[in-house]
Structure 1
Amino acid sequence: MNISSIANSIGSLAKTQANPTQKNDGATFSSMLNDAMKEVNTSQVEGYKAMEGIATGNVKNLQEAVQKIEEAELSLKLALEVKNKAINAYKEISKMQV
């Protein structure tokens, strides 16, 4: 086991984590939120297409279709929970006295 390669890996990892305030490729919060909503929408569309395929009998792999439906449901639940947390955080901040 070569310990020097592990030390080099840890050293490079520490260097990348040294500047946590660095932006991720210039992405803003609104653009990241937009991208996340587009991903949720895409999974919803794929889920509906899978449901349509099951209903019409045009599905080749039932397991994949059910997996897409479940993925769409979970992504929507996650988006709703994130929205609820953001609204609760906003309410808490608005209650603070300045």
Structure 2
Amino acid sequence: MNISSISNTISPLSLSLNENNQTKTNNSGAGSFEGMLKDAVSDVNKQQVEGYNAMEGIATGKVTNLQQAVQQIEEAELTMKLALEVKNKAINAYKEIGRMQI
């Protein structure tokens, strides 16, 4: 089972064409919402891949430190739960704004 990186699906969103029709990444600023969102998704993805690698190491017996591997798996689980809760809160806030009367 192979987990592919979700950063491959995000990176095309930040590409633009310069005058030579070559793609380059936009540096939209470290404080922008887009940058913060990309960093957060990248961190969640990194944790998930590390957790998967730890599970694979446990299953194959290649892990030398079982406690560290279990810790990585737990961190990946908690990171995903946090990301899902933040997403749910953001969706609820968006729906609440949509219900506001002008």
TM-score of the pair, normalised by structure 1: 0.73
Alignment check: 8 A CA contact 2:30 2:36 kept: no
User: What is the match of residue 92 of structure 2?
Assistant: 88
User: What is the match of residue 35 of structure 1?
Assistant: 39
Residue 60 (structure 2) pairs with residue 56 (structure 1): yes
More helix by proportion, 1 or 2? 1
1:96–1:37 Cα change, 3 Å:
same
1:26–1:38 Cα change, 3 Å:
closer
More strand by proportion, 1 or 2? 2
TM-score of the pair, normalised by structure 2: 0.70
Structure 1 unaligned residues grouped into runs of 5+: 1-24
Partner AA of 2:45 in structure 1: N
Distance 2:89 2:43 in 1: 19
Runs (4 or more) in structure 1 with deviation over 6 Å come to: none
User: What is the match of residue 45 of structure 1?
Assistant: 49
Describe the superposition over 1:24-53 as per-residue Cα deviations: whole angstroms up to 9, x where unpaired.
x74201110110100000000000000000
**Structure of greater relative contact order (alpha carbons < 8 Å, 6+ residues apart):** 1
- Aligned residues between the structures: 74
**Counterpart among 65, 69, 89 of residue 69 in structure 2:** 65
Based on CA coordinates, which of the two structures has the bigger radius of gyration? 1
SS in 2 for 1:46: helix
